[in-house]
Amino acid sequence: MPGEDTVESHRAPSTEALERSAALRRGERAPGTPWIVVRPLGKGGVGEVFEVEHVLLGRRAALKVLLPANAERHGLAERIADEGRILARVRHDNLVEVLDLGLLSDDGRPYLVLELLEGRDLRAELGRIGVLSVPTTLAIASQILRGLGALHRAGFVHRDIKLENLFLCDDGSAKILDLGAAEPAAGGEGPGARGASLGTPRTMAPEQFAGKPVDGRADLYALGLVLYALVAGRGPFDDIKGIDALRFAHLDRTPAPPSRFAPQPIPAALDAWILRALEKDPDDRFASAEAMAAEIPALVAPLYDPAARAADVTTPSVVHVDVSRPASPSAAAPPRDPRGGEATRCMVVSALAIASLAAGLAAGRLLGAPSSFGGVVNDPIASRSV
């Protein structure tokens, strides 16, 4: 059980503050590695991240290293090593790629070298624009669910899915970051198998709070909280303060539908989809990431059918974000099949709609000035205690 509630300010420190406090200095080589520090990217309570460049190859990457003050803290070094091993074992387009794992030669602190991503985490994106449109949220959800599916099929649970750990790249791809809390699913073996109860209290699934066995459905609960925040601009329990009240909310309080708070029209089907992910009993949630993703095409298709959209939305006052649409919505809908082809039409429209959304993201329609991976300062290990 967590011992305290860490209610984060989500405010990134200035570049100057990062420079002053960084354990590695700009222009110096990380001891015992071929990586030269370019600039600090972020810092949490356990580790810090730097943009680095390979001394011979000139390749840029992100180096994540344990803070010197945490070098002797039990289990933290092992967590960084486990993260690298899991990422090496489960390679997927929607998981950040690990390039190297090792120990600094001067003090033995573990480090990871990860691919350098250009874009921003979803916390920063949400802070920039207020809410994401429904189509954009579904396009991102589709990618994150693919990454989670790969992780779960390999036998691991992320255990700390949250806005700060999901990254929206400038090319339109979405990546799952920071597997420092990842563990094998209940009863499994492999990196991270130490039996600790880990997670961020604000986004922990009920079974994590209760100390029960955890499987991939805990990640789906946390993703439900993320999706809720993306379309509504806030989470269902954002009014809750204090660890005991949070525990009660996650275990016993029924969340209001996202449409209750959203400043944009929310389809009733989307309300139901997100609320199913937030069921208290894992057996009442989706059985898998694949099962949750399988419902996305049916959620997308009505967004491009005016008649269906008008009949199936809860309409609040204001829409904050433009909806990215195909260049020719009418061209996306094939003729009706006289042999009962409405379902086929729906599937084709859904596929084209999702493809259009991905193209829109890749074109940078929803992104402003980029930042590099590592700018997430809320280290998930720092925001939990066991």
* Ranges 93-102, 147-156, 224-233, 301-310: which has the least confidence: 301-310
* pLDDT tens digits, one per residue of 144-160: 999 999 999 999 999 99
pLDDT of res. 104: 92
Nearest to 82 by CA among 198, 245, 248, 175: 198
pLDDT of res. 304: 82
More confident residue, 160 or 306: 160
* pLDDT tens digits, one per residue of 199-257: 788 999 999 988 899 999 999 999 999 999 999 999 999 999 889 999 999 999 999 99
Kindly name the residue from 5, 82, 121, 160 that is annotated as catalytic. 160
Q: Residues 62-79: what's their mean pLDDT?
A: 84
pLDDT of res. 334: 39
Percentage of the chain beyond pLDDT 90 is 56
Contacts of residue 306, defined as CB under 8 A and 6 or more positions apart, other chains included, come to: none
Burial class (CB in 10 A: 0-12, 13-18, 19+), 203: buried
pLDDT grade, residue 8 (50/70/90)? Answer: very low
More confident residue, 79 or 280: 280
pLDDT of res. 16: 58
Q: Residues 129-136: what's their mean pLDDT?
A: 96
Q: Rounded CA gap, 50 and 63, in Å?
A: 5
217 phi, psi to nearest 5 deg: -70, -20
Q: Rounded CA gap, 71 and 261, in Å?
A: 44
Q: Catalytic: 312?
A: no
Q: Residues 289-314: what's their mean pLDDT?
A: 81
**253-283 burial: b if 16+ Cβ within 10 Å, else e:** eebebbbebbbbbbbeebbebbbebbbbebe
Burial class (CB in 10 A: 0-12, 13-18, 19+), 213: exposed
pLDDT grade, residue 21 (50/70/90)? Answer: low
H or E stretch at 42: strand 35-43
Identify the structural domains of the chain with CATH numbers, from first to last.
Answer: 15-116 (3.30.200.20), 120-292 (1.10.510.10), 301-314+321-362 (no CATH)
pLDDT of res. 321: 37
